[in-house]
Structures are given as structure tokens and as C-alpha cells.
Structure 1
């Protein structure tokens, strides 16, 4: 249960009643004493300055998000999650409360200075057949716990002939990814992760454990968790409809010569407009990374990434060469890398573009219509961001802006109406991603300026072609209004939070404006704006 990060030999854990405890904070706190007497000895309580608390503080992908919590609870069962939730209301430390899964979230919602529930020990995955959850029976499901990372999930399902739609980077957590929409490599073929959910097991803020489905008494909660984020309870297990597992992916990275950028942009537009294989993808990226795709010097580069996953249902699928040769052949390429990777390891294929130890962001809207001038303008904004950071004496290494191909209509896997799920996406587009990296807090305004310009560029592209596509919740930008992401569903989301979190105990990050959240001064997502 402890994972690879910390072994039992270095934990120096001391048994108090039944729980493992690090530090003296439990002795001084009635609520924590109560918790120590309830949770089992495979779970832990770690006080500030102790190894597990420091592990929690250091595991956030963006360095700006790891707060120095007074206490961190590591539950290993759903029952212990429930006890931890109840204990948070019994200690003054619980006034500043959060829970964390993969620690990749970009809204500052999964960290607090007081009391954190770290779900990283709740990380198992199973492929199940004919599993009954609540009032539904799922013929084939991938059941993954809320603290699992996508590397864990891919490893557990590998070779089973089944997979889940998951994140593209293995260190991303299942919890935030699945409740925030869930765009992955296979989303264009199978749909978003949140749309593939059949049931969720949730610990409510009163400590009750429930199963929510589309049709049972908790259907409003289930609806909210399909893209509304983690403000309604703690999901301890997701049941995602299993998809046929690809076996291999052919992936290639091409650095384009500065002399051939316009033609590369034209080829990108051609692919986005004409590709007919939902298992074949292309990414266009402008970024600051090694020009040789290795350990060379960093520079401003344009990168084309091509990916072809073998379609388990189509023996006549086009080959990699047939799909991409018309896009790549004849371009002036200065560096390239091509790999054929077992699908199980695809979550590790682009890790080098997302290093830790930086202040980080993950932001970007969608658009359906791609043009050469749009790609050029996005590149120019990214290049200016890198130049401005460098001029400020900062380190923008690994920063990039990318456009990620999504197969039109997600291969028939979109909701029928915007009201079907919390995140309205009956219409979807290609996904942009601004992934800035920088070191100094005083340079945050440089990042925010560039992010705002890139958002306006994509929103302008939507307006130019008469689109109305709501922003992807997991890429929500600082300051973006609720309606830009959740449209006409915001008031309903506020009502669901009012019902399941009436005291606004979950109030870090982006917070829906319930009465208690407004009273506490935490609300920033309103129904009228």
C-alpha cells in the first residue's frame, strides 16, 4: 500500500490504538485521537514535519500547490476515508480541509494548510465482468480507486484485452481526471472518461458511503461528478465501461526546421480536416525544449507528434505510413524519434515534456476549426512568453502550447444534450493546451498574460466560425467564469453542492457559490456569470 515512494523501513511509524501515527499532533487533538482509534493499522496519520506529511507536500506537480499541512491522513480503505472525513469536522485543523489524488490539479483545490486526506494508498484497479453496483450491472468494467495513478491503472489492465480511457501522462491521478472530463489518447475513439462512467462509490461529507449511478437516488450526484469536479464528495472507486485494449502505438516526434514552419502548419490543417481514423492522432506543439529531442540545448521549436493506436475492432485499419506520410514527407525535419510502444507504456511516452520542480499550469479551450494563421499566432504568443520569462531571469524549460487532435464527434461518443452531464459538451473540438513552466512566484503575471492571450485567441477562433464550445474543466484557467466551462448547468451544480456539501467543507480552489460557500468567502463560481 505504501507504493514506491516511501518504504516501511523509513516510516518510523508508531502504533496508537489501531492507526499508525507519525508525530505528536494526535496527542493534543481530540478529533485526531478519535480518528486514530477508528482507522486500521494499514492507514496512517502524519503530523507536520514527519516523513509522510513531507512526502505529501512534495508530490504536487506544480510547486506552487504543495502546502505545508498540519496533518495528512493516508486512508487505505473506503471506511477509513469516511472516518477521516468525519474526523475533519471534529478538529480545528479541519477548517482548512482538502483531499488529493494524483496531485496534478491546477486549481489549488487539492491542498490545504490544515488537514489533508491523501488518497495515494487507495490505488487498486480491477477488470470486472457483470459487476453490480447500486442499481446497475456493468458487463465489463474497469474499477479503479480514487487514489490510483494512470500508470497503475494501465499496468493493472495490460494484457486483459480491456482498458479505460485514461490520462496521457502516467503520474496523473484518476480522481481529478475522471471527475473533470477525462481527455486521453483514446478519447477520440471511445469518448471522454467522464462519459464512460457507469457508477461511482462516494464518501459524502457526512461520512456516509454511497454508490451513485445515472438512475438511482444519487443520480444528481452522479451527474455532477461527470465533469463538475471534486466538490461534492470523495470518489473512492470509479466504475468505467471497459473498452477494447489496443496492443501497440506507433508514435513519432518531428522537430520542424524554422524555414518550413508555414508548410508544417498547412499539413497540420490538412490532417485535422481530413483524418478518418479515430485511433490516429496528431499534435502540433510550439515549445521550449531540446532541439535534438534529447539532452541538447533548449530552444524555441515547433514539434509535430503523430500517433497511431492499433484499432482492436478493425483489421483493415490504415497503416501508420498510409495515414501520416502525406503529412510528414517532404518537410524539412531537423530531429526525429520514432517508436513502436506497447499500449501499456504509452503513459510514459511523453513524461519528459512534463517535468516536476517547476511552477506549472495546464490550461486551454477547444476549437473545431483549425487554420494556418491560428497556429502561427499561437506559436508567436508562446515564443513571446518564453522570451519574457528568460528576460526576467526565469527558467521556462518544457513550456509549450499544443493543439491536440480530437476525432470529430468523438466517434459517436458525445452526449446528446449539453444538460446530460455537468460539463456541457454535446459539441466538442480539438483541445489546446498551454503548459507553462517557470520557477519564480514574482513571474506569475507573465504566465497569466500569455495564458489570457492564448485563451482569447482560441475563443476568437470559435467566434470566427460560429462555434460555442465550453472549456474543458480540467484545463480551466485562473479567473475564467463558471459559465465559460459549465454554461447553463452552473445553477444546477450549485444546487447539488448545496445538497451534498451544505457546510461548504470542500472549499479550496474553484468553488461553486452555495450559501455556505458565499458566507465563508470561498465562492468563485457563480450561476449568473
Structure 2
């Protein structure tokens, strides 16, 4: 029997190689069709040719999310996005990816071994004072959006750290420093410019197409490719806040975080408490935020009194605050996000989160080279969902959930399966711990922008899934978008 396996393995390897070669050859033909169909405003790139654009188009923040496509196309207008989708629909079976900022931690969600559609040319950001709306291209990252809106003294509800892409963030919900004031980012969207799978560009609003508008608010790329988002803009002054780094995980941090969650009801205030461990070194990172030049007296005193390794707190622009917490500390490494949904934060629960950070950082240290472990506690006011209306996600707006962000990164592909298993196990343990503390969260929805790649869509969308599947069938009857990565209905 052992001998038979040895003889068979090269055959299977040969079959896999043949399939990969066949796929590449077939996709190459599709790439040629796309090149002939797009206008001079768009570009197409190939590997092995002198072009940094191909590399950039396929690059993702984490190497585990990057694949080498047969070609990368950068559409320059909505019509060319439609032309690309028409070619893909005429070549069923051709895998493709749609990449905005490339910040997903889920492998294959915006990358592909087929045709990569990189939205970089949709980089416009404009503000219409008469409507109060900001038009934001799908190829932007939030840093560039904030920079473009700064001269108008307005801002939108967007990402909290540097480098995060606009498109996936919005289409998955969008938690922000401003969520306590204005809700999720999807709650501030007033229109989507969408290219349907049949190649038709359309403007989707609640009044023109309520079903599709509802579905796009949390439904990702199941209904076509969004090229522009129209978001409510709000007056923006300077803000107060920044980052504090603390050695270890002091009890004072746990108590201050729980006290802030329990007692601070000012919607202009927000914090992030992140327990990090890199190659065995424990560091707590606090991000404090107040949406005004000065924070009320006493509001953040507990945090400021904790002895710190580094403090960067000041009155500054919103952009300055966001870029003070860059995303590139573990850039180009492998990594996953995962999440737990909570109803409230208690000292025992936060201590359990601290213990998970310490336990897995030490347990996996020698087994997982380059290990970085991070658990991010995100307090929000229970009222944040009142600013929006019914949407694809969350499936219920009765209670505002608190998303715990779990993030691990490491160096080598050989560690992928183990880390995936550990992250799922850790999330389940913390879920059950919360249940034991009286929180009925065993089956509650998970935040899709944090959920690990093998989470089921049923767990994300609950009772909304059937309606989403129906809308998907109406607007994508040939199931074109199923060949792009991401959560699929």
C-alpha cells in the first residue's frame, strides 16, 4: 500500500500542474479579449514584463492574501468595468478578483490566479457643498480620503488606522471612531455607483432601488462592482487623541477600559484597547479619541495616569491621528483576522482576553516563527445602530454588538493551518466565556470585515441570507460574481 501511494503522488502532482497550466492558458485568452474590449483610459498588465503596475495591482497588505494573477486590469471608467465584466460573463469559469485597497486578511477574497481587477484609477474624492455628500472612488484608502476632505473642514465615517481600503471597509459595514456619533459607515451611504454583472452602470439609492441599496449595505461584491460611494459628510474640527504604548498588560488598563465602557456616554469619545504580543514581548496599545480639539476634563485621566513606554497625545488633524497608528508593522507577513461579538465588557471578560493573548503568544512562540498576537477591545455605545436603517448586515439592529478583533501574523505558509485552527479555537473559547458570564452570544452574527475566511455566511447574515440570495439571483442570474472571492450568497 505504501508503495502504491508513492507511485500515485507524482501522477496527482502532474494532474495539478496540468490543470494550472490549462487554467493559465485559458485565462490568457480572456486577458486578450479584455485588452481588446477596454478603452485607452484603462490598462492591462502581465507578469514577467517590465511593469511595477502588475506587482502593485496584485500586492496585498498580507502576503497570505496575495496571489499571482494571469493579468491585472486597471479600468479607468465605469464603462470599462462593464466591458471587463461582459468578457468574464462570456467566459464562464474564469476566476477573477476585485481589489480596492488590498487590506483584507482573508486569502483569495480580493486576489485570484485568474484576472485581477484593480480599482486604483477610481481614486477621486470630491465634496459637493450643496448636497453635503462626498463622492469617493473605490480605489482609495482612507488616508487619501481624509486628506482630500481636510481643506473643506468636513469628514466622513471611515477607517481608524492607516492603509485601510475604502471599498471592502464600506461594503462590509464599517466601524469608525465616529460610529458613536453617526453609526456604521454603511449608515452614511446615500448612493452607490454600481456596475452590474451584465456590464450596465447604474446609480443605486434607497429611492431608486431599495432592495439593491439594502443589499449593498454589508453585502460586499455579490451584486457587481461598486466604482463610487456617496457618503454623508460632517463638519470636522481638529480632534484630540493619539496612541499610548504600555509595557505588559497592567490591571489598570483593564479597569480603565471597563470603566470607560460603563460610564462614558459622550458620542464624541472613543477608545481602542489592544493587547499585543510580538515574539514574546507583551505591549498594550491604547488609542484615545475625542472629536473636538479638547477632551472634557477627567474623561481619559485613568488611561493617562498609567505609566507608559510612549505617548503621542495631542490636538491634531483627524488625518494625523489616523496615521499615528500605521498598519505596516506586520506588512508583507502572513496573517488572519477573526472576531467575537459581545454585548458588553466586564473586567472578567477583558481579563480572559488578556489571558488568551498571553497563553497563545507563549504556547506558539517556538512553533510559529515570527508570531505576532493581537486582541483588540472596541467599546461602542449601545445606541450606535440607531443612526441607520435596515441593511444586509447586521441582520438585526435590536442590539449594538461590540466586535472583538483577533489578529495573528507569522512568517511562513507552513504555519497557516495551525494558526487558523488556534484562532477559531480562541474565538470559540471567548464566546463561551461570555456566555458563562450571562451574554447570549453563542450564535450571534459576526462582523464580516473581521471574520476569518472559513466562517459560514449563515453565521454572518442570519435571517437576511434568504433575501440576499434572492436579490443576488435577480441581478446576477448567470452567477458571474461567484467567481470573484469573498463571502458568497
TM superposition shift of 1:144:
0.4
Q: What TM-score, normalized by structure 1, do the two folds share?
A: 0.80
Match of 2:438 among 465, 478, 488: 465
Shift of 1:336: 3.4
2:378 equivalent to 1:386: no
Cα distance 1:84–1:403, how it changes in 2: closer, same or farther (>3 A)? same
Question: Which structure exhibits the higher relative contact order, with contacts defined as CA atoms closer than 8 Å and separated by 6 or more residues?
Answer: 2
Give the Å deviation of 1:511. Answer: 4.2
Equivalent pairs counted in the alignment come to: 458
Change in Cα spacing, 1:198 to 1:393, as seen in structure 2 (3 Å) is: closer
Structure-2 change in CA distance of 1:347 and 1:327 (3 Å): closer
The CA deviation at 1:56 is: 2.0
For 1:406 and 1:354, how far apart are their aligned partners in 2? Answer: 26
**Deviation of residue 263 (structure 1)?**
3.2
Q: Deviations for 1:79-112, whole angstroms, at most 9, x for unmatched residues?
A: 11111111223457x6111211111123322111
The question of 1:246 aligning with 2:228 is answered no
Contact 1:254 1:334 in 2 (8 A): yes
Equivalent-residue separation in structure 2 for 1:337 and 1:191 (angstroms)? 27
1:13-72 deviation line (CA, Å, top 9, x unaligned): xxxxxxxxxxxx99x966544433442323101123232222222x20121121111111
User: Superposed, which structure 2 residues align to 1:248-287 within 5 Å?
Assistant: 248-256=239-247, 261-287=250-276
Is 1:148 the counterpart of 2:140 in the alignment?
yes
* RMSD between aligned residues: 2.6
- 1:444 corresponds in structure 2 to 416
Residue of structure 2 in register with 1:126 after alignment: 126
- The 5 Å alignment of 1:147-186 reads 147-186=139-178
In structure 2, how many angstroms separate the alpha carbons of the residues matched to 1:406 and 1:457? 22
Pick aligned residue for 2:352 from 377, 392, 396: 377
Distance 1:31 1:113, change over 3 A: closer
Partner of 2:288: 306
Shift of 1:412: 3.9
Q: Specify whether residues 257 and 354 from structure 1 end up closer, same or farther in structure 2 by C-alpha distance, changes over 3 A only.
A: closer
C-alpha displacement of 1:509: 3.8
- Please report the TM-score for the alignment, with normalisation by the length of structure 2: 0.86
Do the aligned partners of 2:334 and 2:412 also contact (CA within 8 Å) in 1?
yes
| Preserved CA contact (<8 Å) 2:190 2:231 | yes
User: Aligned partners of 1:307, 1:241: CA distance in 2, in Å?
Assistant: 21
Q: Would the aligned equivalents of 2:240 and 2:313 in 1 still touch at CA under 8 Å?
A: no
Distance (whole Å) between structure 1 residues aligned to residue 388 and residue 213 of structure 2: 17
Of the structure 1 ranges 41-50 and 111-120, higher mean CA displacement relative to structure 2 is found in: 41-50
Post-superposition Cα deviations, 1:237-259, rounded to whole Å, max 9, x if no partner, equal 1111112223223224140555x
Query: Residues 45 and 54 of structure 2 are in contact (CA less than 8 Å); yes or no, is this contact kept in structure 1?
Result: yes
Q: Name the SS for the 2:203 alignment partner.
A: strand
Tell me by how many angstroms 1:146 deviates. Answer: 1.1
Hey, what's the Cα distance between the residues in 2 that align with 1:343 and 1:204? 35
Query: What residue in structure 1 maps to residue 16 of structure 2?
Result: none
Distance apart, 1:193 and its partner CA: 0.6
Give the whole-Å Cα distance in 2 for the aligned partners of 1:327 and 1:374: 19
Distance (Å, rounded) in 2 between the aligned partners of 1:34 and 1:478 = 32
The CA deviation at 1:174 is: 1.1
Is 1:325 the counterpart of 2:316 in the alignment? no
Indicate the residue corresponding to 2:9 in structure 1.
Answer: none
Distance in 2, matches of 1:31 and 1:478, equals 28
Is 1:221 equivalent to 2:194 in the alignment? no
**CA–CA distance in 2 between the matches of 1:29 and 1:392?**
40
Q: Secondary structure at the match of 1:276?
A: coil
- Seen in structure 2, the aligned counterparts of structure 1 residues 228 and 151 have a Cα distance that, compared at 3 Å, is same
Q: Corresponding residue for 2:227?
A: 236
SS in 2 for 1:503: coil
Structure 2: stretches of 5+ with no match in the other structure: 1-23
Distance 2:32 2:453 in 1: 38
Alignment partner of 1:424 is 2:424: no
